[in-house]
Structure 1
Amino acid sequence: MKRWTAGLVLMASLASVLVATPAHADAVRDQEYWLQEYGIEAAWKTTKGAGVTIAVIDTGVDGTVKELVGAVTGGTDFSGQGSSNGQTPVGDDNPAHGTLVASLAAGRGTGTGAGVIGAAPAANILAISIGFTGGPISSDDQIAQAVRYAVDQGADVINLSLTRETLDWPVSWDSAFLYAMDNDVVVVAAAGNRGSGTTSVGAPATMPGVLTVAGVDVNGVASFNASTQGITIGVAAPSEDLVGVAPGGSHVLWNGTSGATPIVAGIVALVRAAHPELDAANVINRIVATAHDTGAPGADAIYGFGLIDAEDAVNANVPLVEENPMGSLAEWITIYRRAESTPAPVPTFSPSPEPVPEGDNSTIAGPISPLGTLLPTVSMLRNVGVPLAIYGIFLLILAGSGVLAWRRFRSMRERE
């Protein structure tokens, strides 16, 4: 497979800064329309995600902001630019990105009914910072290392609000993502945004087994700029007019499936907390099986299985499945990586001239006509000459006996 060296792309656009007012209703919390409309607040009556860890592989998470104090329980840096705990924002493009993502997944708020609260406000965040512009270690390799690290640190969910903008992915991701899936970790990835140039879903959202998230506007209609399309989409979630907390504690409005993805990752955390007995395949199945169908039969390339419903995902009676509804990465690797490998050369038989024994005065013939292959060669005659001569004599004797018997028969008839 072709090796891509381009950096990964973040999928969010920031808008105006919000200023919270000391009114009875908090201006920040009031912006989180998805909490009620998508059943998240109703799901909190059952669980808020305690005991579940969400790994945010991104630009780093500022764990000092009020909404995330106590939420970030571990982490590391693979970019070479951040801090050892993954809590220093890195990158020149959008260093606030990872903190915004984490706040929508597991923000604690700033008080009763105030500040940004995530979909799973009792879940933990594992902050993993990576670089998006290459460096000593490519972004591709950093992702592979980060995924493995997340699994080894006990993550239950991995959030990837990024894209390669390519359908394919490097071979190093095969084993890393398969490692996550084999260890029962749910991987959630953003579909991408047309507004930032992603016209169709790109890896890691194209990988089988990954729960891919598309975006919708405040009315639940597919977003044009803050989403994209692709047959690997699992569910759709809000991706417009999202409010999040940035490093330093400021609040911003932003758009993109970068924000829709942690909302879904938070809902996955709620399901894992409510149903600790379920494996990753059945956790994902609860998410997609309870999504609200948008009208198209089955999954479609715009909404996937439909709009998320946290309450039903947590509480509905959903039959168990044996396979991940988003597909099998192991099966894909077996089929396609084998097909892409260079086939071993198939040995071909090339007849060579038979060696001439010492003392043999015969010559080696030149090119043989098609009929020549039906005629005996000198070697054949030499090898079967004696038996053939004996057989020939026997035939001559037999033929002579037949002629004599025929003549005697005719002579006896004439006498009669």
Structure 2
Amino acid sequence: MLRSLAAFAALAASVTLLSAPAAAAAPAEPAPTSTPSPGPVADDPSDPVRAAEYWLDGAGIRDAWKVTRGKGATIAVIDTGIGKPPLIFDDAVAGGTDVSGNGTADGRTPVGAVDRNHGTWVASLAAGRGNPDGTGMIGVAPEAKLLSISLGFGASAAVPFAEQVATAMRWAVDNGADVINLSFTTNTLDWDESWDEAFLYAYEKDVVVVVAAGNRGSGTSVIGAPATIPGVLTVGGVDQTGTASVEASTQGITIGVSAPSESLLGMSPDGELQKWNGTSGAAPIVAGVAALVRSAHPDLDAANVINRIIRTATSVPGMKGMPDALYGYGLLDAKNAVSASIPEVSSNPMGDLEEWIRVYRRAESDPEPQPEVTPVAVPPLPAAEPPTEAGSPLLPSPDSLRYGTLPLLAVTVPGILIGLGVTAAARRIRSARDRRTPTP
């Protein structure tokens, strides 16, 4: 809750639960009355708790309830475990497990010394049932089912965190999750390679994965994994006016949609309401809407559920492109996500993890092309001359006579003759001069 937990070696980064208790006290939980409101799910907007859930009207959730309340959809909450407060989760939790090594087999015992309430708060926002008379806290998809998967952070876990997440993802998929909610960050862009296959497994089994973007107040200035994994629907946070939250959100190009992250409500395991902030709460609001869309459009695959949510989002003045680093594609609009006519897509608009793995993990890189080599015909070399018989090294050979002795004689003999002629001539000249010289 706006506090970084212990670093885990597998990811070399701190894991942070993206929430913080707000300073103000939550409205008192009224006692149930015996006169329920009409309709499949009782809802009394004048109840002070329901009135405090401003996102029910602000994000168009009450209007979406006219179409569906999430029946038939299942949301897996991979968190600290969904506790057992009275009423709010009656008949809601369809199963669970513990991957931390410290919880209970059903995943319903909160794990952790510090953030043990976190998973219960998250679940109450996603699919809390409310009181039978229409009062008290109610979730976004109050007829959806929940799966409780208790996860341990830092010292509260006997299993490495990366392994916990990979195991939890697969368990959620294998046990019927239509939507998976992850309200934590690792504060690092990269993630353990074991998550590649775990998240890809969820996509291949047609599961929508909703992830909190992170909070500046917890030291997350830029979104971290799992919000950076291609294909997840990353949720940024806004305040009651629809403005990007300074403390209870962060920024990044992978944000898909924004939802309320300030002055939220959450039910604690002991039955007490807590006011809290963070994209930990924005994410389950979007996960609840994803469950509404899956309930209203059971024929749509996960890619088109995500596409409906981001394409029907309300743009915010000042947004810089689509997606925007603060708002993604805009503010969550549950009514239009459920009811609007949206063209279908053939791929996940939030990215292709399989292609990312191929490019960056080099898991299935194409072989390097081999150059074509054309053989060249080379004519055979001429046959070698037969060897000659070896002669005496003291006697000249024909080659030495031809190329050594004869040229040497041709140069030396004329030179000697010329030298002798010159000498003889010089002697004759000297003798003649001597005869002409008179004797004294």
TM-score strictly above 0.5: yes
Give the equivalent residue in structure 2 for 1:58: 79
Partners of 2:131 and 2:54 lie apart in 1 by: 17
Contact 2:129 2:139 in 1 (8 A): yes
CA-CA distance at 1:244 after TM superposition? 1.2
Contact 1:7 1:132 in 2 (8 A): no
CA-CA distance at 1:306 after TM superposition? 0.3
Contact 1:5 1:138 in 2 (8 A): no
Partners of 1:88 and 1:219 lie apart in 2 by: 36
Deviations 1:19-62 (A, max 9, x none): 52659943222210000111100000000000110000000001
Give the equivalent residue in structure 1 for 2:28: 20
Give the equivalent residue in structure 2 for 1:300: 324
Contact 2:97 2:106 in 1 (8 A): yes
Change (3 A) 1:110 1:388: farther
Which structure: larger Rg? 2
CA-CA distance at 1:73 after TM superposition? 1.2
Give the equivalent residue in structure 2 for 1:398: none
The amino acid across from 2:356 in the alignment is W
The amino acid across from 1:153 in the alignment is N
Contact 1:6 1:133 in 2 (8 A): no
Give the equivalent residue in structure 1 for 2:253: 231
Verify: 1:337 aligned to 2:361, yes or no: yes
Verify: 1:49 aligned to 2:70, yes or no: yes
Partners of 2:200 and 2:61 lie apart in 1 by: 30
Give the equivalent residue in structure 1 for 2:436: none
Deviations 1:118-173 (A, max 9, x none): 11000011000011115432111100000000000010000000011110000000
Structure 1 stretch displaced more, 128-137 or 171-180: 128-137
Deviations 1:195-229 (A, max 9, x none): 01111111010010000000000000000100000
Contact 1:101 1:262 in 2 (8 A): yes
Give the equivalent residue in structure 2 for 1:371: none
Partners of 2:174 and 2:30 lie apart in 1 by: 43
Contact 1:28 1:251 in 2 (8 A): no
Return the match for 1:217 from 235, 239, 242: 239
Give the equivalent residue in structure 2 for 1:107: 128
Give the equivalent residue in structure 2 for 1:370: none
The amino acid across from 1:104 in the alignment is L
Give the equivalent residue in structure 2 for 1:4: 11
Partners of 2:30 and 2:137 lie apart in 1 by: 15
Partners of 1:234 and 1:123 lie apart in 2 by: 23
What is the DSSP-based 3-state SS (H/G/I as helix, E as strand, rest coil) of the residue aligned with 2:76? strand
Verify: 1:81 aligned to 2:78, yes or no: no
Partners of 2:159 and 2:364 lie apart in 1 by: 25
Return the match for 2:279 from 249, 254, 257: 257
Contact 1:190 1:213 in 2 (8 A): yes
What are the residue-to-residue correspondences of 1:349-388 with 2, within 5 Å? 384=381, 386=383
Partners of 2:335 and 2:384 lie apart in 1 by: 92
The amino acid across from 1:115 in the alignment is G
Partners of 1:199 and 1:338 lie apart in 2 by: 29
- Percent of paired sites with the same residue: 58
Contact 1:20 1:26 in 2 (8 A): no
Change (3 A) 1:225 1:340: farther
The amino acid across from 2:333 in the alignment is D
Partners of 1:22 and 1:210 lie apart in 2 by: 38
What is the DSSP-based 3-state SS (H/G/I as helix, E as strand, rest coil) of the residue aligned with 1:312? helix
Return the match for 2:221 from 184, 187, 199: 199
Return the match for 1:162 from 180, 184, 191: 184
Aligned-residue CA RMSD in angstroms?
A: 2.4
Change (3 A) 1:63 1:51: farther
What are the residue-to-residue correspondences of 1:140-155 with 2, within 5 Å? 140-155=162-177
Contact 1:184 1:279 in 2 (8 A): yes
The amino acid across from 1:113 in the alignment is G
Aligned residues: 351
What are the residue-to-residue correspondences of 1:247-326 with 2, within 5 Å? 247-295=269-317, 296=319, 297-326=321-350
What is the DSSP-based 3-state SS (H/G/I as helix, E as strand, rest coil) of the residue aligned with 1:384? coil
What is the DSSP-based 3-state SS (H/G/I as helix, E as strand, rest coil) of the residue aligned with 1:70? coil
Contact 2:75 2:145 in 1 (8 A): yes
CA-CA distance at 1:63 after TM superposition? 3.2
The amino acid across from 1:332 in the alignment is W
Contact 2:85 2:267 in 1 (8 A): no
Contact 1:11 1:196 in 2 (8 A): yes
Contact 2:357 2:363 in 1 (8 A): no
Partners of 2:259 and 2:58 lie apart in 1 by: 11
CA-CA distance at 1:388 after TM superposition? 9.1
CA-CA distance at 1:64 after TM superposition? 3.8
Runs (5+) with no aligned partner, structure 2: 1-8, 32-43, 371-379, 387-440
Give the equivalent residue in structure 1 for 2:406: none
What is the DSSP-based 3-state SS (H/G/I as helix, E as strand, rest coil) of the residue aligned with 1:248? coil
What is the DSSP-based 3-state SS (H/G/I as helix, E as strand, rest coil) of the residue aligned with 1:75? strand
